[in-house]
Amino acid sequence: MSKKAKTITGVLIILVFLVIGFMSFMDSKIEYVNFSEAKDRMRTVEVKGQWLKDKESGFDSKTNTFSFYMRDDFNNEMKVVLDGAKPNNFDVAEAVVAKGKVKDGYFHAKEVLTKCPSKYEADGKEIQQKKGS
């Protein structure tokens, strides 16, 4: 093989690795959006919001999915279907982050994260009592 052919082969190999690396990076880059924007995206996104406790929710053992309704920070509501069981501390969560895609009119979540009240934060009564002492 000539020196020119080796150089071209080396450059092509480097380009292939760069393209694969870029594609992997773009797949791992997840954006925070609302439900309206999530409908337009064809890739995995994160939506932050609150669980609507007054609407139906539950676990379906046949499909191994947990479903609930959620309102994003822009007051858009959508049904969320999570592959798996209800997350820990879901019932006491202040906020919920669903990671997934909109498909068939639902938000299909791969993962749901919960933000729970911190046991280290003082409530208003404790602060007032400390000031009064």
Between CA 49 and CA 73 the distance in angstroms is 5
* pLDDT at residue 111, rounded to an integer: 92
Per-domain residue ranges of the chain: 1-30, 33-115
Compute the C-alpha angle 37/42/47, nearest 5°.
Answer: 40
* pLDDT at residue 26, rounded to an integer: 61
Between CA 130 and CA 90 the distance in angstroms is 32
Q: For the domain 33-115, what is the CATH superfamily, name and number?
A: Nucleic acid-binding proteins (2.40.50.140)
| Residue ranges, the chain, pLDDT below 50 | 127, 129-130, 133
Residue-wise pLDDT tens digits, 21-59: 777 766 555 678 889 898 888 788 999 999 999 999 999
pTM beyond 0.75: no
* pLDDT at residue 5, rounded to an integer: 86
